Amino acid sequence: MAHAGLPLAAAESYGGRGGFSVVRWHRAGLAQFAATFRVAREVRADVVITSVLCPGALLAAEMLDIPAVVLGLSVHLWSYEAGGGTEPQPATSRTQRTRGTLRLYDALRDEIGLARRSRPRSVSPLYGEALLLRGDPVFEYPGAVLPDRVHHVGPLAWEPAADRAEVDVVRTHLDQVGKPVVYVHLGRFFGGTTQWPRLNAAFTDGPFQAVVEQGRSTNPRPAPDADILLIHKPWMGPLIDRAGLVLTSGTTAPVLAALLRGRPLGFSPDGAEQPVLAAACVRVGLGVYFTGDPGADPSAPLRSVWRDHGVRERARELGRRLAMADSASRAADIVERVVLQRHADGAGIECART
């Protein structure tokens, strides 16, 4: 918002401190609701655009009787409208994930004092008037049917400009080591096993060096002799450009950033969206799982995908398709349509694009 020169109000100024943290989203619905309700009412908002992790903002829009558009992740996580019955399910199935999200949503409704829903099993309230997915239809399970209000808009890619001096420092280090580079971006662990022993094994006395983003990986423990460079940057692009492979737990940001640059992927998923997106990418041949039997060469999965020209070409092809999606315009068109549908005559509605 600030980069685009648009006016903004900080959530903290409206009682929302901590409410929009990705770590606390499932416990912070009331703070989300309070902040969104106060500021939307103050500015007489025509629409609320919120995250898939902000049920409180959805309920604020309902209380104010204005439409809401939900920005999702790259792949649909809840139950399909139809089809997908043969999809292998990770530890948490789509049905379990849908029911769990609805339980949180309904508990928040009760806490706020809103009436119970007439169709308690319906997932539709979670979509708002539209749910925007940042991935590609190829990520969805073959034969699955998405609800009408779910739209693939493309990556909506943005990150702050990298500091050239910081990029040069990283590149100088990588050039001195001299090995092919793997960019590693692990998401949060949801009670799973830390990946650091496997990372240390793969990048010690092996063919690759790693640049590991530690911003979302708690308690990093690189071995002293491992070819691992720890960084903490708000940008990925220049580092992925330098790498030939991206290793991730399967969260939206690094997966899309890798594909937009035509890089193949290695996956070590844990919870939340990670197993769903990782399975989708492996299914369509964009990468491999970063796993192995005890005693096996820990870098073997990385070697295999690095040398697989078919994987690289598929990553480049999907990256080109994502880059051509004109996702910002697609998203803006849907938001405008939602607002104009609510105000059929269009009177007084001004939609600004950046």
- Domain of 18, CATH number, reads 3.40.50.2000
User: Are 145 and 170 part of one and the same domain?
Assistant: no
User: Are 310 and 178 part of one and the same domain?
Assistant: yes
44 in any annotated domain: yes
**2 is written with which tokens?**
């600030």
**145 is written with which tokens?**
């049917």
Give the C-alpha separation, 218 to 213, whole Å: 11
Helix (H, G, I), strand (E, B) or coil at 138: helix
Mean pLDDT over 4-33 rounds to 87
User: Are 177 and 266 part of one and the same domain?
Assistant: yes
User: Are 233 and 300 part of one and the same domain?
Assistant: yes
87 in any annotated domain: yes
Render pLDDT for 171-230 as a digit per residue (tens, 0 to 9). 999 999 999 999 999 876 645 567 888 899 999 999 999 999 987 666 788 999 999 999
For residue 307, CA distances in Å to 91, 181, 311, 313 come to 31, 14, 9, 11
**7 is written with which tokens?**
């006016």
Query: For residue 50, what are the β-bridge partners?
Result: 70
User: Are 35 and 172 part of one and the same domain?
Assistant: no
User: Are 296 and 311 part of one and the same domain?
Assistant: yes
User: Are 211 and 334 part of one and the same domain?
Assistant: no
pTM above 0.95, yes or no: no
Count of other CB atoms within 10 angstroms of residue 5: 7
**101 is written with which tokens?**
């999200």
Q: Which residues of 309-338 are buried (b: 16+ CB within 10 A; e: fewer)?
A: eebbebbeebbeebbebebbebbbebbeeb
pLDDT at 189: 61
Enumerate residues 6+ apart whose C-beta is below 8 A from 59.
29, 33, 105, 108, 109, 112, 114
Domain span including residue 176? 164-323
pLDDT at 217: 66
User: Are 173 and 188 part of one and the same domain?
Assistant: yes
pLDDT at 173: 97
Helix (H) or strand (E) holding 164: helix 164-177
Render pLDDT for 23-62 as a digit per residue (tens, 0 to 9). 888 889 999 999 999 999 999 999 999 999 999 999 999 9
Enumerate residues 6+ apart whose C-beta is below 8 A from 104.
26, 29, 55
Evaluate whether 222 touches 184 at the Cβ level (below 8 Å): no
User: Are 228 and 275 part of one and the same domain?
Assistant: yes
User: Are 191 and 273 part of one and the same domain?
Assistant: yes
Q: Would you say residue 345 has pLDDT above 50?
A: no
User: Are 130 and 203 part of one and the same domain?
Assistant: no
**Order of strands, sheet of 287-289, starting from the edge strand that comes earlier in the sequence:** 228-231, 209-213, 181-185, 245-248, 265-267, 287-289
159 in any annotated domain: no
**Total count of domains within the chain:** 2
- Residue in this structure with the two tokens 């100088």, named with its chain if needed: 172
pLDDT at 277: 95
User: Are 178 and 202 part of one and the same domain?
Assistant: yes
